Amino acid sequence: MADIIKLLPDHVANQIAAGEVVQRPASVVKELLENAIDAQSNTIKLIVKDGGKSLIQVVDDGIGMSTTDARLSFERHATSKIQKAEDLFNLHTKGFRGEALASIAAIAHVEMQTRPEEEEVGTQLKIEGSEVVSQEVCVTPKGTSLSVKNLFFNIPARRNFLKSNQVELRHITDEFHRVVLAHPNITFHFYSNGSELFNLPKSNYRQRIVHIFGTRANAKLVPVKEETNVIKIQGFIHKPEFAKKSRGEQFFFVNHRFIKSPYLNHAVVSAFEGLIKTDTYPGYFLYLEVDPSSIDINIHPTKTEVKFDDEHTLYAILRSTVKHSLGQFNIVPALDFEHDQNLDTPYAYKNKEAKQPQVSVDAQFNPFLETSGRSSFTKQGHSAVRKTRGQWESMYVGMDQSVGDDTSFSSVHLESDTITGSVFEDQLDVAHSVATTFQLRRKYIVTSIKSGMVVIDQNRAHQRVLYEKLLRNMTVKQSVSQQLLFPLTLSFTKSDRAILEEIRKDLTHIGFVFETLDEESLKITGVPLLIPENEVGTVLDQLISDYRQEIAGESFSQADILSKTLSKSLSVKTGEVLECSSQLALVNDLFACKESRVSPFNKPIYIMLTEQDIEKKFI
């Protein structure tokens, strides 16, 4: 039998490795930014075009590389971070496996210019699909500039899986946030298609958060700090009243590296138990420092999932630390039975001095002495009484004749009797007319049909009705907007504002009216008739969250995603009591839809029980 096992060529092995390391342009951004940080840079610039498909460039002022290092850095498993296997448990850098640059160079056109500080000239290297095209001497500033062009040019199938430029830019922005939040001591610049999105100067953790998420984020933050022999915790959590229905602003950093840990996230959420609603999530920016030997960060290619030696201890410490911060800064309501609130000074009089009251006394006053003023007052009083008495007497003219007349009350009718009776009769007729439906456990609507009965999920049914109505309004572009007497001013982060601007046309078609105030605020002067005024902020936050996560699938249109999200937010929820008329209206609207069998999220809306099905249960 002939031998069938062969070694793969290097360029094929690099392309396979690229499938693990480079999933989309955001993966390239992450690797290049981490390399720039490891190069001890003070200023890092990120430049992207077309969502990273055409160009991703990272420019730093780090230590740079020599000619030999520049060429060797693109070889697979070439790294300066570790020398032996034991170094994996004592990592203080971002990258260490030596696969990033080799994988990127295998699927893109890469150009690198680098120069160390002690050299007068630098090195320029061009690579296309793992093949070195040219290497020559060049004049370049100190540091490294690495450009990645035409990502997945030699793998068309992978390039076709990339989403729109806006979606890819959002993923790049998310990765950018994760890196810059962990390193506030470095200046970052972010440019997209020639325009500057972020200019983040060197600062501390709190200032870096405010620079990214807006000035209004400062009022939301509560500091967290704890230091033990096992772990050192610092950072910020959001006040309970700012909890959202999305997990957008939740960041864990371990040894200056962003991680995802559902276990530690549960510790933070449990600390907020009783302070936030069950369907909302708190925001936090927590920086953890542990012994590098007690953590394994090499269990996933993206290095965002880690494994701790003693997770239970970290869970307990983190939970108690967050609880302590909530109580220390008077976030948790407390009861003090020995405190008398009636003795508290009102806030408006906090800085005012006490003044002695003054009483004016007329020492010459004598009630038994008749003066000219008093007599004149008495005369005026008598004249006023006589004048008023004449007006009163005119009201009783003719009353003496009508008192003894019994026929004067014959035309009196009690109007309330007639009206009350008609109201109850109408309600009775309505109750008899809608007796064909009833609500089961505040979740299902049961109605009868010719062949049996139908059990309808009220939440999914209302989702379908709203979905088709919203989609029709956005398609026809003839929606009705309810103008607000007092406009609403809502604040959003730059990334959230970018999403709202992206879907602004569709929002306008369903009834929203926006006015831009500044980079962080929007004035809303009109809302759709379906949305209550007090829920506009919640609906928009949910919309941004779902759109960011592509809840309906990225292959769908913006109008479709928007309609599904709004239908989910505005629909009747499980547990709400519906009157008989509302039940009947929902049933009629459901079966008037084009597709009444499944919800917008492809879940069944109703089940049918025929008379035969019911009879079989009694056999």
Comparing 82-91, 406-415, 512-521, 574-583, which segment has the lowest mean pLDDT? Answer: 406-415
pLDDT for position 429? 37
Q: Is residue 410 assigned to a domain?
A: no
Local confidence band at 11 (pLDDT 50, 70, 90 cut-offs): low
pLDDT above 70: residue 389:
no
Q: Which residue among 298, 328, 358 closes a domain?
A: 328
Q: Is residue 356 assigned to a domain?
A: no
What domain count does the chain have?
3
- Are 15 and 161 in a shared domain? yes
Largest CA-CA distance found in the chain, in angstroms, rounded? 141
- Are 74 and 193 in a shared domain? yes
Q: What phi and psi values does residue 534 have, to the nearest 5 degrees?
A: -75, -5
Local confidence band at 135 (pLDDT 50, 70, 90 cut-offs): very high
Q: Is 520 helix (H, G, I), strand (E, B) or coil?
A: coil
Q: Which amino acid is at 266?
A: H
Comparing 249-258, 393-402, 606-615, which segment has the lowest mean pLDDT? Answer: 393-402
Most confident of 127-131, 294-298, 379-383: 127-131
Q: Which CATH number belongs to the domain containing residue 74 in this structure? A: 3.30.565.10
Name the region of 93 (left: φ>0; alpha: ψ -120 to 50; beta: rest).
beta
Of 543, 542, 544, which Cα lies nearest the Cα of 498? 544
Q: Is residue 102 assigned to a domain?
A: yes
Q: Which CATH number belongs to the domain containing residue 520 in this structure? A: 3.30.1370.100
Q: What is the pLDDT of residues 335-377, one digit of tens each?
A: 555 655 566 666 566 667 777 777 777 777 777 776 554 444 4
Please state, in angstroms and rounded to a whole number, the distance separating the CA atoms of residues 50 and 149: 11
Local confidence band at 549 (pLDDT 50, 70, 90 cut-offs): low
Where does 289-414 have alpha helices with state H? 311-328, 372-395, 399-403
Q: What is the pLDDT of residues 500-546, one digit of tens each?
A: 888 888 788 888 888 876 777 888 888 888 788 888 888 888 788 77
pLDDT above 90: residue 223:
yes
Q: For 136-163, what is the mean pLDDT?
A: 90
pLDDT for position 481? 80
The distance of Cα 584 from the centroid of its chain, to the nearest Å, equals: 35
- Are 190 and 223 in a shared domain? no
How many CB atoms sit inside 10 A of residue 184's CB? 19
Q: What phi and psi values does residue 92 have, to the nearest 5 degrees?
A: -125, 10
Q: Is 14 helix (H, G, I), strand (E, B) or coil?
A: helix
pLDDT above 80: residue 246:
no
- Are 224 and 279 in a shared domain? yes
Please state, in angstroms and rounded to a whole number, the distance separating the CA atoms of residues 577 and 570: 15
pLDDT above 60: residue 57:
yes
Q: Is 517 helix (H, G, I), strand (E, B) or coil?
A: coil
Are the beta carbons of 102 and 142 closer than 8 angstroms? Answer: no
Q: Which residue among 328, 346, 375 closes a domain?
A: 328
Please state, in angstroms and rounded to a whole number, the distance separating the CA atoms of residues 397 and 105: 108
Q: Which residue among 170, 200, 230 closes a domain?
A: 200
Residue 552: C-alpha distances to residues 143, 279, 515, 564, 600 (Å)? 43, 20, 28, 7, 9
Are the beta carbons of 598 and 605 closer than 8 angstroms? Answer: yes
Please state, in angstroms and rounded to a whole number, the distance separating the CA atoms of residues 543 and 566: 7
Q: Which residue has the tokens 């730093």?
A: 60
Q: Is residue 401 assigned to a domain?
A: no
Please state, in angstroms and rounded to a whole number, the distance separating the CA atoms of residues 272 and 326: 8
Beta strands 521-528 and 437-440, pairing class: unpaired
pLDDT for position 554? 46
Element (H, E) at 176: helix 165-182
Per the structure block, which two tokens stand in for 295?
Answer: 């953590």
How many CB atoms sit inside 10 A of residue 371's CB? 10
Per the structure block, which two tokens stand in for 136?
Answer: 């020559």
Q: Which CATH number belongs to the domain containing residue 321 in this structure? A: 3.30.230.10
DSSP letter assigned to residue 230: S
Q: Is residue 18 assigned to a domain?
A: yes
- Are 584 and 452 in a shared domain? yes
Q: Is residue 505 assigned to a domain?
A: yes
> What percent of the chain lies above the pLDDT cut of 70?
78
Q: Write out the residue range of the structural domain in which residue 216 sits.
A: 212-328
Q: What phi and psi values does residue 233 have, to the nearest 5 degrees?
A: -120, 135
- Are 69 and 93 in a shared domain? yes
- Are 155 and 296 in a shared domain? no
pLDDT above 50: residue 384:
no
Please state, in angstroms and rounded to a whole number, the distance separating the CA atoms of residues 548 and 495: 10
Most confident of 37-41, 86-90, 541-545, 549-553: 37-41
Are the beta carbons of 42 and 30 closer than 8 angstroms? Answer: no
